[in-house]
Structure 1
Amino acid sequence: MEGTIFSIIPAVLMLVLVLITRNVLISLGTGILIGALFIHDFAILDSIREIWTIFYEIFILDGALNTGNILLIAFLLLLGTMTAFLQASGGSRAFGEWMIKRVKTRTGAQIMTPVLGLVIFIDDYFNSLAVGQIARPLTDRHKVSRAKLAYFIDSTSAPITVISPISSWGAYIIGILGGLFAANGITDIQPLEAFIQMIPLNLYALSALLLVFLVAYFKMDIGPMRTHEQRAIETGQLLNPEKDNAPGDLGDTFVPHKGGKIFHLLIPIAMLIGATVVSMIVTGANASKGDVTILTTFANTDVNLSLFIGGLSAVLTGLVFHLQQEEPRANGLTIFIEGIKTMLPAIYILVLAWMIGSIIGTLETGEYLAQIVNDASISASLLPFLFFFIAGVMAVSTGTSWGTFGIMLPIAAEVAVITDINMLLPSLAAVLAGSVFGDHCTPISDTTILSSIGAGSNHIDHVLTQLPYAILAAVAASIGYLIIGVTNQVLLPLLATFIVVIGIGIIIGFVNKSKINKA
């Protein structure tokens, strides 16, 4: 069943179950089981062995520790511990009280979050987790729901990193472009130059970033987000009370220390950011061969190791501050245990997401979708639109933007070179845009999971509340890509995309305000 229409069934079934049951673990588990049965033609024992092998290889691969995965899991546990120290020390409360005096409006608290996301553009993992730790005390004090905070984080992190050449994403994409241009004999443009020219053509990323600020300013609470926001404003409940505590949320586990100061929060977070960035630069420079540049550094950096070093530095800093505080203070061992416990649900989701990703890879779901594009007779004017759509579907199915880049960028380049070379950069940009769109719509995306963790939001609540905004931005981007195909221009499609997003934003904001005034 590999590489056939049947290969998409496990992914589709998983997504349908997520929407019906609202239980991500059951949905992922079902997708894994059905996928394993498909791989082995419903031989039960072979399917069980397949599932065990995939799980085992998450931790041990080719007889050695799978350090990348282990370091990321360890970092999440450290992040939970750091969060516990920030709360127990009173640092989160002190920071919230300090910021609420300076950011006096709920709108200002919301706008601050994506602004932080734009500043921390180096890596999407790092962005998702760091922004959440900084913004959460403020948004909590202004009664911004955790689902909305997760949306702000997720819809800023991937869109900003995918258009930044100085980022782990940018370096990866530029590396792929270099190979594609060499393979197709393209010599009149360099990879970095092409990447920069593709920025205004990445219509989904740009429209998603614009939409985030419109949502914050015009109070565009649509679909499930409206329910979360109304509950937060009216009752102060930032999470759905019918569901378990979200990853990273400690509830009322600790009574904040009365002597808590702002630096009890700011310095550990500064250590997290500083140690991570320094580690990314050092590991990237050490792994670069030949001339060490900014691009080669970020192309070769070890993100997971850097995150672990940053997380460990932050936890040790939090521990030192905790030991310096006067009695009574929370038990240090209890802080470690409770912090770790808050991250276990997220780790379960992440491990199952890795497993379903491996199953889908074995079934060659991505290759099947790509082959459909390759075999179709496509008009050159439709290439950007179709590549945006197909990349989106592939990213939703596989849960990986980077995997979609690797599969679809070569196909887009080959088709554009053969069909119409003028559509090369728009088609490549459309693949990048569609990959991020699909990443925003699927519950098995690493970035989406980590955004839920960073915000302390229930994961399915985050996925379902972000979906209408992602679709809105995608519709606007689709119109832009159709215009690109017809006009082969850059500014007109970008302007049209922004006009659609702004127009819808103003209308929704006006309707919401009218409803509030009537109430």
Structure 2
Amino acid sequence: MNVLSHADSALSLLPPAIAIILAIVTRKVLLSLGVGILVGALLLTQFSLGDTSTFLVETVTGLLWDDGALNSWNLQILGFLIMLGMITALITVSGASRAFADWAKDRIRSKRDAKLMTMFLGCVVFIDDYFNSLVVGSISKPITDRYHISRAKLAYLLDSTAAPVCVISPISSWGAYIIALIGGILTAHGFTDSGHLSVFVQMIPMNFYAIFALLLLLCVAIFGLDIGPMRQHELKAQKGELYDESKGLPPGANPDLPEADTGKIIGLFLPILALIAATVYFMISSGADALAADGKPFDVLGAFENTAVSQSLFYGSIVGFIVTLVLAFMQKLAIRLVLQGVVAGARSMLPAIYILLFAWSIAGVIGQLETGKYMASLVTGAIPFELLPVVLFILAGITAFSTGTSWGTFGIMLPIAADMAMGSDSTMMLPMLSAVLAGAVFGDHCSPISDTTILSSTGASCHHIDHVITQLPYALIVAFISIVGYSVLGFTGSIMSGFLACSLVFAITVAGLMIYTRR
């Protein structure tokens, strides 16, 4: 089979562009992704129908079986999803969700408190974005439902906490990955005196998008700044329509499950705590094993750099499921109810799994087309040095939006940003690297083919495109604030000036939104 690369061609942009535009226009995610995959396959095989068919079969097969062995990463992530669906359904059947909602009724007394609780939990559960969105969604949903907060708003709370927190947290799967990348880049350019962790910490205040996305989310939670499509979803939620029922059940929803009257709060928190503790243990354990295999001494950061994320999530979910099951039997739930919950929970995750499989497929096609490399090549022309931070932010955003992956964008764009800094002014190395990190998270927040966005929709039991459309205005607002900051930083060379510029624009923007939403 003859498979070509279009790294030097704008044609490599066609598959993601078609998929994204179709998804927004038709709101049919699987159809849109399928068309994008087909177009990409045709480009790769020079429109040979036979080779296209073979390529599509190999792509689909590769999701589960790759290089003569099981594709453990994908299978473990899918297993984690199914396990978490079963845990959530069992918690519902046991009545623990309702017990928690009743308990919280006297402590969380308003919509604002419910939103702040969700955001707080998202900041606490920072070890991984997948884990964050799904676990926090499971805990928060009973409370946000009680206060008629739309599922779209819950998805926004989950998504706009998960990635921004993970990207600035060194002890997370994201932080470890970024530190490893940056460490290699700094070593390659002769910066051997600075500790990789200390460099990462220095970059945190330069990640304008992550910081101001969290601050805007806080203001939205406190002041109810509902704009654009989000306003419509919130108005419908006040009437009891938490999600668009005309589109059917969203991923992760189990509305018809019976609930026992004997449920207790411990039935919610003990499984979740077991899940968190087991996942952290397996992340550190697998990282420690990898360090030992390389003959390196153990340290927590090194363990997170070398951890097996998907394996840890899957094993942790098994522990959480066992604890949930034991509690259900201790509660003396009927076996019929337990089985009903297990089956319904697994089934509720199927829509998310289908979308995720299609998203992984188009990511593979885009990878072979080298769309990311083509996007990166656009910055190698004659761009004034002062504009490089803002240009890198925008380009990283477009790349992540087109490819649906922050991590892939990091891998492509960070080395390029470092090379450009070394070719002009090495003192701007860290701001330019930070601009890439910020832009990648922005693009990920906007992309309907992003796995993080898909799982935030799943965690909130929200229709995927509804989440994308409602989050988009907020992401664009923060992107504009970041663009101002990186522009000022580029022309002044001062990180403090850039941050202050962002703060000023942020304050003006929030004041304007408050006036707009009070009309």
Residue 328 of structure 1, CA deviation:
6.1
Residue 285 of structure 1, CA deviation:
1.2
Equivalent AA in structure 2 for residue 32 of structure 1: I
Q: Deviations over 1:338-395 (max 9, x none)?
A: 1111000000000000000000001110111111212x11211111000001100000
2:320 match: 314
1:240 match: 244
Structural mapping, 1:110-509, within 5 Å = 110-233=115-238, 235-251=239-255, 253-288=256-291, 289=294, 290-326=296-332, 330-374=336-380, 376-509=381-514
Query: Is 1:64 aligned to residue 69 of structure 2?
Result: yes
Distance in structure 2 (CA, Å) of the matches to 1:349 and 1:226: 26
Q: Deviations over 1:302-360 (max 9, x none)?
A: 11111112211222222222223346675322222111110000000000000000000
Distance in structure 1 (CA, Å) of the matches to 2:507 and 2:66: 48
Whether the aligned pair in 2 keeps the contact of 1:395 and 1:438 (CA below 8 Å) is yes
Whether the aligned pair in 1 keeps the contact of 2:287 and 2:308 (CA below 8 Å) is yes
Distance in structure 1 (CA, Å) of the matches to 2:199 and 2:263: 50
Distance in structure 2 (CA, Å) of the matches to 1:452 and 1:327: 30
Residue 145 of structure 1, CA deviation:
0.7
Q: Deviations over 1:22-70 (max 9, x none)?
A: 1111110000000000101111111111111111111111111111110
Distance in structure 1 (CA, Å) of the matches to 2:495 and 2:160: 23
Structural mapping, 1:77-116, within 5 Å = 77-116=82-121
Whether the aligned pair in 1 keeps the contact of 2:428 and 2:493 (CA below 8 Å) is yes
Equivalent AA in structure 2 for residue 28 of structure 1: L
Distance in structure 2 (CA, Å) of the matches to 1:48 and 1:298: 40
39 and 207 in structure 1: CA distance in 2 versus 1, 3 angstrom threshold: same
Whether the aligned pair in 1 keeps the contact of 2:93 and 2:337 (CA below 8 Å) is no
Distance in structure 1 (CA, Å) of the matches to 2:40 and 2:323: 44
Query: What's the TM-score, normalizing by structure 1?
Result: 0.96
Whether the aligned pair in 2 keeps the contact of 1:81 and 1:338 (CA below 8 Å) is yes
Equivalent AA in structure 2 for residue 236 of structure 1: G
> What SS does the corresponding residue of 1:367 show, helix, strand or coil?
helix
Distance in structure 1 (CA, Å) of the matches to 2:201 and 2:323: 39
Structure 2 unmatched ranges of 5 or more: none
Distance in structure 2 (CA, Å) of the matches to 1:314 and 1:269: 7
Whether the aligned pair in 1 keeps the contact of 2:83 and 2:346 (CA below 8 Å) is yes
Q: Deviations over 1:203-254 (max 9, x none)?
A: 0111111111011111111111111100111x11211111111111101x22
Whether the aligned pair in 2 keeps the contact of 1:151 and 1:462 (CA below 8 Å) is yes
Q: Deviations over 1:154-185 (max 9, x none)?
A: 11111111111111111111111121122222
91 and 383 in structure 1: CA distance in 2 versus 1, 3 angstrom threshold: same
Whether the aligned pair in 1 keeps the contact of 2:33 and 2:362 (CA below 8 Å) is yes
Instruction: Please identify, of 168-177 and 349-358, the stretch whose mean Cα deviation from structure 2 is larger.
Output: 168-177
Distance in structure 2 (CA, Å) of the matches to 1:324 and 1:294: 36
Q: Deviations over 1:439-460 (max 9, x none)?
A: 0011111111111111111111
Distance in structure 2 (CA, Å) of the matches to 1:363 and 1:329: 51
> What SS does the corresponding residue of 1:250 show, helix, strand or coil?
coil
Distance in structure 2 (CA, Å) of the matches to 1:351 and 1:197: 37
Q: Kindly, what percent of the aligned residue pairs are identical? A: 48
Equivalent AA in structure 2 for residue 477 of structure 1: S
> What SS does the corresponding residue of 1:242 show, helix, strand or coil?
helix
Whether the aligned pair in 1 keeps the contact of 2:94 and 2:333 (CA below 8 Å) is no
327 and 379 in structure 1: CA distance in 2 versus 1, 3 angstrom threshold: closer
> What SS does the corresponding residue of 1:331 show, helix, strand or coil?
helix
Structure 1 unmatched ranges of 5 or more: 515-519
143 and 329 in structure 1: CA distance in 2 versus 1, 3 angstrom threshold: farther
Q: Deviations over 1:411-435 (max 9, x none)?
A: 0000111111122111100000000
Whether the aligned pair in 2 keeps the contact of 1:144 and 1:238 (CA below 8 Å) is yes
Query: What's the TM-score, normalizing by structure 2?
Result: 0.96
Instruction: Please identify, of 174-183 and 468-477, the stretch whose mean Cα deviation from structure 2 is larger.
Output: 174-183
1:517 match: none
Residue 478 of structure 1, CA deviation:
0.3
Equivalent AA in structure 2 for residue 479 of structure 1: V
Equivalent AA in structure 1 for residue 341 of structure 2: I
Equivalent AA in structure 2 for residue 509 of structure 1: M
Equivalent AA in structure 2 for residue 174 of structure 1: I
Aligned length: 511
Distance in structure 2 (CA, Å) of the matches to 1:166 and 1:79: 23
> What SS does the corresponding residue of 1:373 show, helix, strand or coil?
coil
Equivalent AA in structure 1 for residue 253 of structure 2: D
Query: Is 1:39 aligned to residue 44 of structure 2?
Result: yes
492 and 25 in structure 1: CA distance in 2 versus 1, 3 angstrom threshold: same
Distance in structure 2 (CA, Å) of the matches to 1:197 and 1:43: 51
